[in-house]
Amino acid sequence: MSGGLASGVAARRGWGVIPNVLSASRVLLVVATYTAAYRQDKPLFAVLVLAAVLTDILDGPLARHFGTASKLGANIDSASDLSFYLSLPVWTYMFQPDVVIGYRHLIAVLGVLYVAVNFLSQAKFGALGVHNRLSRASGTVGVVGTFYVILWGMNDIVLVSIVAIICADLAQRYGALLRATLR
């Protein structure tokens, strides 16, 4: 079978819902991850975060493979991403409160800018987020940075790396909104 025909058959057999189920399951994984963080269970925390990341990696490619990519699916993915990525500083606080307290103003500003750009994107483009290489890199740095800080604490290289990539991602997102508005 050709890719398109195979995709159509898979979608008709119900396989096409898998990407949206994966995206939505990320929210459940976020809730479970809070439990692991509350219990200070680092191994379970790591497994749950990695499972959430895996759902994020797989949902888009599977939606394209099954021919079921949609604005609804992209919005489910973005809403799940929002719940996951906004939880990273909270989880860090649960394991390393002094780090988060020390950087609370920076975290608050970046968090507000991140939430705002997602909702502005929803208003302008009808989609909660931007999916591109820079946003993926930003998410990766956020997850890796969170793991590093939880395990070993904060240092200047980690801080600069996290802030630089998040600022670049935010600049790209706000730039896209500005360009679309000026057209």
pLDDT tens, position by position, for the chain (183 residues)? 445 555 555 555 678 899 999 999 999 999 999 999 999 999 999 999 999 999 999 998 999 999 998 888 988 998 999 999 999 999 999 999 999 999 999 999 999 999 999 889 888 888 777 777 888 888 889 999 998 999 899 999 999 999 999 999 999 999 999 999 998
Alpha-carbon distance values, 156 to 64, 73, 81, 84 (Å):
40, 38, 26, 24
Ordered by where they begin, the domains of the chain are 3-182 (1.20.120.1760)
Give me the residue label for tokens 């509350």: 38
The pLDDT value recorded for residue 11 is: 55
The pLDDT value recorded for residue 1 is: 44
**Nearest-5° angle of CA 128, CA 48, CA 80?**
10
The pLDDT value recorded for residue 13 is: 63
The conformation of residue 14, written as its DSSP 8-state character, comes to T
The pLDDT value recorded for residue 2 is: 46
Nearest alpha-carbon partner for 70 in 20, 116, 115: 20
CA distance 151 to 27: 24
**Token pair for residue 64?**
């394209």
